[in-house]
Structure 1
Amino acid sequence: MHNVVNQNIPEELKDFRNFLYLTWKFLWESGAITAPKPDPTPVQYDIAHYLQTGPRRKVIEAFRGVGKSWVTSAYVCWRLLLNPHLNFLVVSASKDRSDQFSTFTKRLIYEFPLLRSLRPKQGQRDSNIMFDVGPAGISHSPSVKSVGITGQLTGSRADEIIADDVESLNNSLTHALREQLSERIKEFDAILKPGGVITFLGTPQTEMSIYNELNERGYEIRVWPARIPQNDETYKGNLAPMVMEKIARGGQARDPVDPQRFGDEDLNEREASYGRSGFALQFMLDTSLSDAEKFPLKLSDLICMPLDPERAPVKLAWSSGPEYVIGDAPNVGMAGDKFYRPMWKSNDMAEYTGSFMFIDPSGRGQDETSYAVVKMLHGWLFVMDVGGFKGGYEEATLKGLATIAAKHKVNEVWSEPNFGDGMFNELFKPWLRRIHPCTLEEGPRATQQKERRIIDTLEPVMNQHRLVIDERLIKKDYETASNPRYSLFYQMTRLTHDKGALAHDDRLDALAGAVAYWVEQMAQDADKSAQDHYDQLLNMELEKFKENILGSSLGENEQTWVHL
């Protein structure tokens, strides 16, 4: 596996772990690594051993922040020290990410005295993104080259491909994006030289991670989570042996796997910041979270159609038939979850009962000031708009909210009361008076755990298929979310009953607030409401018939035509 060409290498350095120690010591002395001592952590040593001895096709999944890219940069240097004629191709989700890898590798070569012999010579390629090492022979391919996964892969040749975080949230959020990523990964086989090595370094970004499919393509997957998992069966036999040894020696669930890197207190803080589902992906590498019991809110329970701002059909019918799937909408839901158009809708239209807006102001940090506009008709709730603004007090935010209220002819606005003791409403009132005068109040103060409150509000309405989404909102929500995790439908499909399940739930919380406003009136039977509507239309027609046939000069004793 080593392909040793440089016979001057001491025997000790033919073990990559020894080379890694010397590299870490150099980085520690230079101040690049801040640690009590220069030793790599046990997990870093374990990853190093797997890089050296693992199969030719392997996937290294390790918790965020463990330093797997730094370890692998050192590995590339070590491999070139043993055999300077090798060609490495570094591929990442973005060109910038892969460039960072190659730049760090080149800096090690230039600054680490042990690698002095690898410095490029005059006339060789010598840029941060494409360079040769000094002893390398003449080749079309550089010793190290970096490229983005969507960049020009064709024409490259490599002995080893390092796929460093090729999956990002932006390129794997929807089914279509994951399909595109999967096809790009297949090109690695056309680039790789005979007997070459492909190593994936990654952290799953979604529950439908592309890394889960690599097992079927002949890759061995090894996983190092940040904590000892409560159920090792979740990892389908892919847990690193060192983690299994910790369990066998009596390690308790949730004990840190690499306490030198992240202790229990540090991990608790990160779990609070990321949210439980985000922490499960980024630190526990757990992609098994798509159980129906854990994620009760599903896109498939919604009805999606273009909505008229003034009126809506008096009755709708839902179906999950394949012919009703909205295939061209950006779908950020779980695998198999889809948006559906109505199977049937009444030709009779009626004006909405009312229009309501709920606002959840942001306090500080990365939260959005989110809003939701929901209208009602005959027991159906029609979601006209949901979105968010960065900031809570800014004039642009207040004016924008008032403009949205005017656009949808909102009758009443409620704001989340757990914020600033009414300060938001006092700031918002002048803008509403100026742009769209309507009732503004604080909503009822929430006492229940947020996640359970949102689920308890939305799940019954969605399960009955009474929540109708403006089809245009799907694309708008996807495009206006500054980060996919701010998307309404991403938040909807990742919410669990666990406290702190999501790091960001602003848009979903606003929608739940708007739906809760109408819940009391939802108790009425939708079929009865529709029948009342038909009865009203019939009475109107009878009145017209009376006037046209009998005239308007009936006597006082002839109150209605049925007495004639």
Structure 2
Amino acid sequence: MTHDAEAIEGALQGDFRFFLSALWQQLGLPPPTPAQLAIAEMLQHGPDRLIIMAFRGVGKTYISAAFALWNYFRIIETKVLMVSASKDKVAEVTIFLKRLLEETPWLARLRPQEPKARWAGSLWDLNCPTDIAPSMKALGIDSQLTGSRADLIILDDIETSKNSNSAPNRAKLVGRVTTESESILKSANGQYDLYDDLKLPKRVVVLGTPQTRDSIYNTMVIEHGYTSFMWPARYPANPTIYSGRLAPQIVAGLEQGIEPGTATDPLRFDDEDLLKRALGMGKSSFSLQFMLDTSQSDSEKFPLRLSDLIVTAVNPTSAPENIIWSADRTNLLKDLPHAGLPGDYFYGPAQIQGEWGPYTDSICYVDPSGRGSDESVAAYASQRNGIIYLHEVRAHLDGYSDETLKSFLNGCVKYNIKRMLVEANFGNGTVCELIRKIAAEMSIRISIDEESVSGQKEARIIDTIEPVMNQHRLVFNRSAIEWDYNSNAELSIEKRIAYRLIHQMSYINRTRNCLRHDDRLEAVAGAVRYFQNSLNLSAALEIAKRQQEDWEDFLQWELEDPQASVEALARGLNLEQRRAARALRESYNWIHRR
């Protein structure tokens, strides 16, 4: 090896950031971003029980895989156990590592030479003396970890929305991770010391993004002695919520006067990109997964805010091209009662823009229930230009009786709705068949289908409705809110409150079974979910498109029939009216030509 080659190899062994940059170059990627370099530095120099929390999309998985390679590059006898959230992630990491080993020239000396060396799947050896434990073992978090041995344990995004959705699940996960990691980790006084120059013991390194306010990563810090390093996507306005765990680079930036809200890693996600993600995900999910904020303020614990709605009289058949929200006090609807959080109010529209026209699509979503304390609910909603209008909610306590199903179908007639979706998690298709039978008896032509839903109900509802409300694209009919407040008058006030849609909307959170009743809110969420593919429409762009089409049509008519076009302009006819007038004129001329 030449002197220059020795110097380069020494630099690669001595600085993981340099090693990471070289790997990224080998892969044809841009140089590591500031956040990636900060994570790399902490991986190299951090404590022996370390948790790195960073925003989604920063590249934690690939950085941790590169860290495993760097440890092999320094001391090839190292034994590494990588634990990921799923088997798919394990396969992804394994393929990534093997590709680097096979395609990177300066990693050639690590490749196994023995014919009997293990190389298949997620368990393999490198070019080192044979040992019972493989050089690399990659497993899913649900796999059998007992019996493994390692010098370095890397736990990559082991907390998921599924395995952390309840307190017992989180406690089980924390206990398994902490206890088994300590039993798997080899002692520090063996035949070689992985971190001989740093004099550190064997290590457990965790990289992840919190999936719940009660994240296991917080528990591991508070109860099990782990040190946390946190890199949010934006400079936070309130650094104290991170309890002294913010990355020193973030703290230094704030002390130097960087404006809170500025992107911390603009090469990865700039301010505009983060704004789009915040709108698309909803405030609470963005706060958790991009800002790493696991604090429990009411505005985040209860993410559906009435003040994000637009409340007005909703027309049953048509809507304006755009409707504008504003929290100006002139739009505050003080006279509208509700059972929501104190200090949260309804607002009317600040402005209505463009021409009125028919809805693009409408839906009736039914959440059925058997007889008992739960309600069978139908929510009626329409959409135009990416804005969803809730017309009405109907709810009955008599299960799916003929009277209830007739009421639901009559609502479809009232709002000219041609499609009904029924939640499939109840009745095994029975409800759909009953509705079809009654619709035939009533001579109502309507498409009736089932929709299967899965996952934790509360999270599903919030993740569906919150982004739409944050963007002020959900309009409630004032009469629907008034009906909701006065419904179930025969019940005691304590029972009535739990049935109200507005109460359910205000007090839902991500805790399982947090509401006594959620039927009305679930039906509304189902209707909103039906329109999700339409929400990328922009009302402003649709208005501009319509105006351009209007102008081009007028110019075309001006060329074909100048007198008629001037008459239409003088009478203030819109595009559809002009087209109807033109068709009538053409029919008249055709008849007289005959």
Structure 1, unaligned runs of 5 or more = 1-5, 299-360, 393-403, 441-478, 531-564
Supply the distance in 2 between the matched residues of 1:184 and 1:221 (Cα, whole angstroms). Answer: 19
Matched, 1:383 2:389: no
> Which residue does the alignment assign to 2:438?
435
Query: Helix, strand or coil: the match of 2:51?
Result: strand
> Which residue does the alignment assign to 2:297?
291
Supply the distance in 2 between the matched residues of 1:116 and 1:387 (Cα, whole angstroms). Answer: 64
1:373 and 1:383 in contact (8 A); partners too: no
Matched, 1:17 2:17: yes
Deviation at 1:426, TM superposition (A): 2.8
1:84–1:483 CA distance, 2 compared to 1 (3 A): same
Deviation at 1:130, TM superposition (A): 0.9
In the TM superposition, 1:161-310 aligns within 5 A as 161-185=153-177, 186-194=179-187, 195-216=201-222, 217-288=224-295, 290-292=296-298, 294-296=300-302
Supply the distance in 2 between the matched residues of 1:415 and 1:286 (Cα, whole angstroms). Answer: 46
> Which residue does the alignment assign to 2:77?
85
Query: Helix, strand or coil: the match of 2:24?
Result: helix
Could you state the TM-score of these two structures normalised by the residue count of structure 2?
0.57
* CA deviation vs aligned residue, 1:271-328 (integer Å, no higher than 9, x gap): 122111111111111111x334643599xxxxxxxxxxxxxxxxxxxxxxxxxxxxxx
* CA deviation vs aligned residue, 1:404-442 (integer Å, no higher than 9, x gap): 95589445228999xxx956x1345999563356899xx
Read off the aligned partner of 1:500 and give its amino acid letter: N
Query: Helix, strand or coil: the match of 1:221?
Result: strand
> Which residue does the alignment assign to 1:413?
408
1:371–1:82 CA distance, 2 compared to 1 (3 A): same
> Which residue does the alignment assign to 2:112?
120
Deviation at 1:517, TM superposition (A): 4.1
> Which residue does the alignment assign to 2:93?
101
Deviation at 1:251, TM superposition (A): 1.1
In the TM superposition, 1:468-479 aligns within 5 A as none
1:150 and 1:184 in contact (8 A); partners too: no
Supply the distance in 1 between the matched residues of 2:35 and 2:459 (Cα, whole angstroms). Answer: 36
Supply the distance in 2 between the matched residues of 1:520 and 1:95 (Cα, whole angstroms). Answer: 51
RMSD of aligned alpha carbons: 4.5
1:415–1:147 CA distance, 2 compared to 1 (3 A): farther
Deviation at 1:179, TM superposition (A): 2.0
Query: Helix, strand or coil: the match of 1:48?
Result: helix
1:198–1:405 CA distance, 2 compared to 1 (3 A): same
1:72–1:493 CA distance, 2 compared to 1 (3 A): closer
Read off the aligned partner of 2:106 and give its amino acid letter: L
Supply the distance in 1 between the matched residues of 2:6 and 2:154 (Cα, whole angstroms). Answer: 25
Read off the aligned partner of 1:116 and give its amino acid letter: A
1:372 and 1:514 in contact (8 A); partners too: no
> Which residue does the alignment assign to 2:143?
151
Read off the aligned partner of 1:43 and give its amino acid letter: A
* CA deviation vs aligned residue, 1:442-477 (integer Å, no higher than 9, x gap): xxxxxxxxxxxxxxxxxxxxxxxxxxxxxxxxxxxx
Matched, 1:129 2:122: yes
2:236 and 2:260 in contact (8 A); partners too: yes
1:513–1:127 CA distance, 2 compared to 1 (3 A): farther
Runs of 4+ in 1 over 6 A off after TM superposition: 6-9, 361-364, 414-417, 437-440, 492-498, 512-516, 527-530
In the TM superposition, 1:427-506 aligns within 5 A as 427-428=419-420, 432=435, 434-435=437-438, 481-484=453-456, 487-488=457-458, 491=461, 499-500=469-470
* CA deviation vs aligned residue, 1:166-218 (integer Å, no higher than 9, x gap): 11111111122112212221211110111321000101111111111111211
Read off the aligned partner of 2:290 and give its amino acid letter: F
Supply the distance in 2 between the matched residues of 1:187 and 1:374 (Cα, whole angstroms). Answer: 44
Picking from 468, 485, 490, the partner of 1:519 is: 485
Supply the distance in 2 between the matched residues of 1:270 and 1:384 (Cα, whole angstroms). Answer: 35
Deviation at 1:149, TM superposition (A): 1.4
Query: Helix, strand or coil: the match of 1:413?
Result: helix
1:413–1:278 CA distance, 2 compared to 1 (3 A): same
2:150 and 2:186 in contact (8 A); partners too: yes
Deviation at 1:11, TM superposition (A): 2.7
1:95 and 1:146 in contact (8 A); partners too: no
1:520–1:244 CA distance, 2 compared to 1 (3 A): same
Read off the aligned partner of 1:40 and give its amino acid letter: P
1:93 and 1:171 in contact (8 A); partners too: no
Picking from 45, 51, 63, the partner of 1:53 is: 45
Supply the distance in 2 between the matched residues of 1:232 and 1:276 (Cα, whole angstroms). Answer: 18
In the TM superposition, 1:312-327 aligns within 5 A as none
1:173 and 1:206 in contact (8 A); partners too: yes
2:229 and 2:246 in contact (8 A); partners too: yes
1:59 and 1:220 in contact (8 A); partners too: yes
Supply the distance in 1 between the matched residues of 2:275 and 2:108 (Cα, whole angstroms). Answer: 42
1:213–1:71 CA distance, 2 compared to 1 (3 A): same
Supply the distance in 2 between the matched residues of 1:529 and 1:384 (Cα, whole angstroms). Answer: 13
Supply the distance in 2 between the matched residues of 1:248 and 1:18 (Cα, whole angstroms). Answer: 28
1:162–1:407 CA distance, 2 compared to 1 (3 A): farther
Supply the distance in 1 between the matched residues of 2:481 and 2:370 (Cα, whole angstroms). Answer: 9
1:104–1:297 CA distance, 2 compared to 1 (3 A): closer
1:294 and 1:497 in contact (8 A); partners too: no
Query: Helix, strand or coil: the match of 1:199?
Result: strand
* Structure 1, 490-499 or 197-206: larger mean CA deviation: 490-499
Query: Helix, strand or coil: the match of 2:367?
Result: strand
The alignment covers a number of residue pairs equal to: 385
Read off the aligned partner of 2:492 and give its amino acid letter: A
* CA deviation vs aligned residue, 1:367-407 (integer Å, no higher than 9, x gap): x985335899xxxx94245799xxx9xxxxxxxxxxx9558
1:284–1:363 CA distance, 2 compared to 1 (3 A): farther
* Structure 1, 18-27 or 176-185: larger mean CA deviation: 176-185
Deviation at 1:147, TM superposition (A): 0.8
Could you state the TM-score of these two structures normalised by the residue count of structure 1?
0.59
Query: Helix, strand or coil: the match of 1:171?
Result: coil
> Which residue does the alignment assign to 1:27?
27
Structure 2, unaligned runs of 5 or more = 188-200, 305-358, 384-398, 422-431, 445-450, 497-594
Deviation at 1:261, TM superposition (A): 0.5
Picking from 9, 16, 32, the partner of 1:40 is: 32
